Amino acid sequence: MKDYLLPIRTGQKLTVREEIILILRLSLPAILAQISSIIMQYIDASMVGHLGANASASIGLVSSSTWLVGGIITAASMGFSVCVAHRIGAQDERGARVIVRWGLICNFFFSLLIMAACVMVSPMLPMWMGGDAAIRKDATAYFLVYAFSVPVREMFLTSQGMIQSSGNIRLPSILNVIMCALDVVFNALLIPHFGVMGAALGTAFSFVVIMIVMMYELLVKSPALYIIGRSGDGNTSLFAFLSKELLTALKIAIPVAIDNVIMGFAYVAFTRIVSPFGTVSVAANSFSITAESLCYMPGFGIGVAATTIVGQCIGANRKTLARRLGWMSVILGMVIMGCSGILMWIFAPWMIGILSPDQEIRMLGTRILRIEAFAEPLYGASIVAAGVFRGAGETLLSSVLNLLSVWAVRIPLAYYLGSMFGLRGAWIAMATELCVRGTLFLIRLALWNRNK
């Protein structure tokens, strides 16, 4: 496979056309991977949706909690992945392999701690979230299965991030698509027998299969990063990792983890605001978030590409190029998500209709999706800009901006407008906050360019 990032590492000058092509070549596979991951949620939601509103609401009740946990394990994987990108950019493949070896070990033991915590809270979580008694049992079962799959998900995310940071974004994208197909097969086999829990099991089993393949590709097949069967890296790798790389990874990962925890608790608080509106509102809220994800996943895909590109630029000490490619990535993200917002407004009834046959849920979901469509361009700016700063290893201020935006704008406004207009009021608050957040990130990106 051609190494599109080689000109960055070797100091070659790129034309504007070559820079645009580079961003597109790395973004398109990453977008595909992100979309395929959300399609898995679509698959679960659609299959469970046909079991009835209660089944849908049981997943919706704990979905914000799974996002919270997912954000924490994503942060852990991201810290080491950015370090790999910096090492590859500096043409220090041996140093990158040190991070691969010990980073995987650290994240595995960390994921075991997260799993244990999730297992312990799973019986009480639906009650804490204010769910109706009729949906608590299924909600507990769904979250418990998710909890036991946390180590598998962590190893998947870590190995995927490291492969992407080496410049190979295509392979993880292909494997994500295959995982979607496996999810369909496992769900079709398990949901008829286990209901809501079957959807969680189907997703977990698909993660197991693809995680094994991803780890094999990283540890055995990756030209730069493989460590199984390689000799000559020396016996001081653990000391080098503990003395420098672990601290660097923590400096990147801890702010991202705090950011994701803040956002996760915000989602939990938002769900807690919505849950008193009734089962239909809880289900419509959950389905609409899943449907909207199809529109903002391209932004996350471009953000992944931006992290890799900027990370290797920083590693190669090409900061001016990093700034320019960062801005180009953000503009691309805004354009694509602006187009996806238009499509979401047009096709909102169809997007919700796939997920639920309930007419009341479909009508309410369509209305709130069309509210959110107007916020997509600025939401795209915040997503991709965050990816740029992750690649640069600067994650603290991004966390502060998210904290201010979500907790000072979204949650108070959702509580106020929700009390007057129900779910529609809460989603007006969400759209407003996303516009505020995007504006803050654009200002920060402008200042970052000026000060570097």
pLDDT of residue 10: 81
Least confident window among 34-38, 238-242, 307-311: 238-242
- The letter for the amino acid at 87 is R
Q: Is 166 helix (H, G, I), strand (E, B) or coil?
A: coil
State which H helix or E strand residue 208 sits in: helix 196-216
pLDDT of residue 186: 93
How far is the C-alpha of 99 from the C-alpha of 86, rounded, in Å?
A: 11
How far is the C-alpha of 239 from the C-alpha of 43, rounded, in Å?
A: 45
Asked whether residue 6 is domain-assigned, the answer is no
How far is the C-alpha of 366 from the C-alpha of 362, rounded, in Å?
A: 6
269 confidence band (pLDDT: 50, 70, 90): confident
Distances (CA, A) of 128 to 107, 121, 123, 195: 29, 10, 10, 23
233 confidence band (pLDDT: 50, 70, 90): low
User: What is the tens place of the pLDDT at every residue in 52-94?
Assistant: 778 877 887 887 788 788 888 988 888 888 889 888 988 888 8
Q: Which of 296, 298, 224 is nearest to 24 (CA)?
A: 298
Asked whether residue 286 is domain-assigned, the answer is yes
Asked whether residue 244 is domain-assigned, the answer is yes
Least confident window among 17-31, 47-61, 377-391: 47-61
- The letter for the amino acid at 197 is M
Least confident window among 61-65, 258-262, 386-390, 431-435: 258-262
The answer, yes or no, to whether residue 262 has pLDDT greater than 80, is no
How far is the C-alpha of 299 from the C-alpha of 375, rounded, in Å?
A: 13
User: What is the tens place of the pLDDT at every residue in 122-160?
Assistant: 999 988 877 777 888 889 999 999 999 999 999 999 999
Least confident window among 176-180, 365-369, 408-412, 427-431: 176-180
Asked whether residue 237 is domain-assigned, the answer is yes
Q: Which of 384, 260, 369 is nearest to 310 (CA)?
A: 384
How far is the C-alpha of 49 from the C-alpha of 34, rounded, in Å?
A: 22
How far is the C-alpha of 133 from the C-alpha of 191, rounded, in Å?
A: 22
Asked whether residue 5 is domain-assigned, the answer is no
Enumerate residues 6+ apart whose C-beta is below 8 A from 85.
Answer: 165, 166, 307, 308, 311, 312, 315, 391
- Report for 8-22, 63-77, 283-297, 420-434: range of highest mean pLDDT: 420-434
User: What is the tens place of the pLDDT at every residue in 44-61?
Assistant: 767 776 677 788 778 878
Q: Please, are residues 199 and 47 in contact by the beta-carbon 8 Å criterion?
A: yes
How far is the C-alpha of 95 from the C-alpha of 169, rounded, in Å?
A: 20
pLDDT of residue 450: 61
How far is the C-alpha of 410 from the C-alpha of 429, rounded, in Å?
A: 5
Distances (CA, A) of 421 to 345, 418, 425: 20, 5, 5
pLDDT of residue 74: 87
Asked whether residue 261 is domain-assigned, the answer is yes
Range of the domain at 437: 12-451
344 confidence band (pLDDT: 50, 70, 90): very high
- For the chain, the domain total comes to 1
The answer, yes or no, to whether residue 237 has pLDDT greater than 60, is no
Asked whether residue 69 is domain-assigned, the answer is yes
pLDDT of residue 162: 94
Asked whether residue 81 is domain-assigned, the answer is yes
- Averaged over 179-196, what is the pLDDT? 89
How far is the C-alpha of 82 from the C-alpha of 99, rounded, in Å?
A: 10
